[in-house]
Chain A
């Protein structure tokens, strides 16, 4: 008998069971990913294509032209405004001291090596992997002064992990609890005992969102569990001047806040608080009412006394909150506020914890987040792309690089450190990412 490969393959796939693909879940997942893309990169969590490629997905094909917004000029935010053209050029030796760099020629390769962050005692968390069919990863702590590598015992988990809290005593890496990319598991490395321990919490709802997790000053991990999900208005999103459906002024998402111990698997607490996004300073917890949409309330809780106050951040009426952070007495909001005839309205708004407007960095294709005690701003604007730094204490605004890699790299760094990346190589086509990147680690000089 003769058997034909083609025939057998088609026969094998000819009688599928009922189609249970959930297009609503696809749409919800896609919307969340689009909204969160830059916020994710802002957290330094994911090795994911961002930059020019990612921003390219935010603009594009037109629709039917219905409900085109009447306004055609990017509006001016309330309070002081800074623009990219106001930035001075940061200089090595003057503004910062370069400590180390690492180049990866092909970030799509399975044998990548990356800086995943810097520990509080100044060691680079250096990742090698994933490798092989088990997707195994190994980590080293590298002294940037000498280059000495201290390889840690292998991490017994093949899932993608995200450096979250890199202390002098312990390292906390988060990963998903299952292969479907949901749930939360922590890997904690005891730097004294040199052992990894896995933490899961039976009392934590299984939908806990890894990308809504923050370690508080008390060492507990606070994590959001999805509560409400925003959607398009009746009739769909209006069409912007670029012909693209414009989801500015979105409803946004909320989460129920939980906290877990990183040393006790039985300790999972419902904080009985519905939030948008959460951040911590040394002495306060701050949260928004909504994330991924228009947020009109910021809450501040004094961690020592429990006293709370809240205020309207006076963000624009169309501003979707995409990134949220805090440092000292400053709160930083990264927002997308709509597209107009003269470009996108992106804002990095800096407020005090009392609600006073400090400044708003406004640009066409920018985002910003708190890292190392600084506000790092990334611009994807054509002709003005690169990494910028805003110092919240002095208000100094400088440009560090003039290009971005196509990947979100890095991780948490202690105050006074800056980690950024630049592209290496050439994209195979305009729609493909630039394959390589160099990561740069510097000590920022106040």
Chain B
């Protein structure tokens, strides 16, 4: 009862971006692929009304967040990432950068799933507070408070290490 060609085209275009978001949400590439598949099944079911509304990707991202949070609720443990990408610009201390990235992901792995999702949606997907709230199905106030707690935790971990200061980058503020 649906236009599968359009759905497949959408899924092929969205899968990579969704998988990266899923990886940052869960810390494991294999599980990220599973989560994206589950989310895309939800998108398939809802596809007719989504194509009308023209908000396919936002729905897919919301479905993905829901899948990941559902899974996190079922698990008592979370995984520590991460595999390193050693390709760095010239003149940069590769070891230091890899260490900073690993530290960030390890601290994120210890965050409550919704706090982690706030960080990923706000600073990887670059969603506004309002859009993050819609993706998580909560209030904007909750997004702000959860994000602030997560960032406090991340920042304190960096301050306590030899890695230096942690900032947001870009135009947004704490």
Contacts and interface: CB of A to CB of B under 8 A. Distances in A.
Interface of A: 1-17, 19-23, 25-27, 29-31, 33-34, 37, 56-63, 108, 110, 130, 133-135, 158-159, 179-180, 232, 236-237, 244-247, 431
Interface string B16-44: 10011101100001100110110011001
Contacts of B1: 34, 58-60, 237, 244-247
Given A2-B165, A3-B164, A19-B16, 16 more contacts: A4-B169, A9-B123, A9-B124, A15-B83, A16-B16, A23-B12, A30-B7, A34-B1, A34-B2, A57-B48, A59-B48, A60-B1, A61-B48, A108-B137, A245-B2, A247-B1
B122 to A, nearest CB: 9
B145 interface: no
Contacts of A7: 169
Say what secondary structure dominates the interface of chain B: helix
Contact of A26 (B2, B44, B166, B170): B44
Given A13-B124, A22-B37, A159 B74 contact: yes
Interface residues of B, number: 68
B96 interface: yes
A60 B74 contact: no
Contact of B20 (A5, A16, A23): A16
Given A15-B85, A25-B37, A5 B164 contact: no
Contacts of A16: 16, 19-20, 23, 29
A12 B104 contact: yes
A9 B15 contact: no
A2 B164 contact: yes
Contacts of B46: 57
Contact of A8 (B16, B45, B74, B101): B101
B169 A6 contact: yes
Given A3-B167, A13-B24, A21 B33 contact: yes
B135 interface: no
Contacts of B76: 133-134
B98 to A, nearest CB: 9
A13 B20 contact: yes
Given A3-B100, A60-B47, A19 B85 contact: no
B143 interface: no
A1, A56, A133, A237 interface centre (most CB from chain B within 10 Å): A1
Given A3-B167, A30-B41, A19 B19 contact: yes
A17 to B, nearest CB: 5
B41 A33 contact: yes
B123 A60 contact: no
Contacts of B57: none
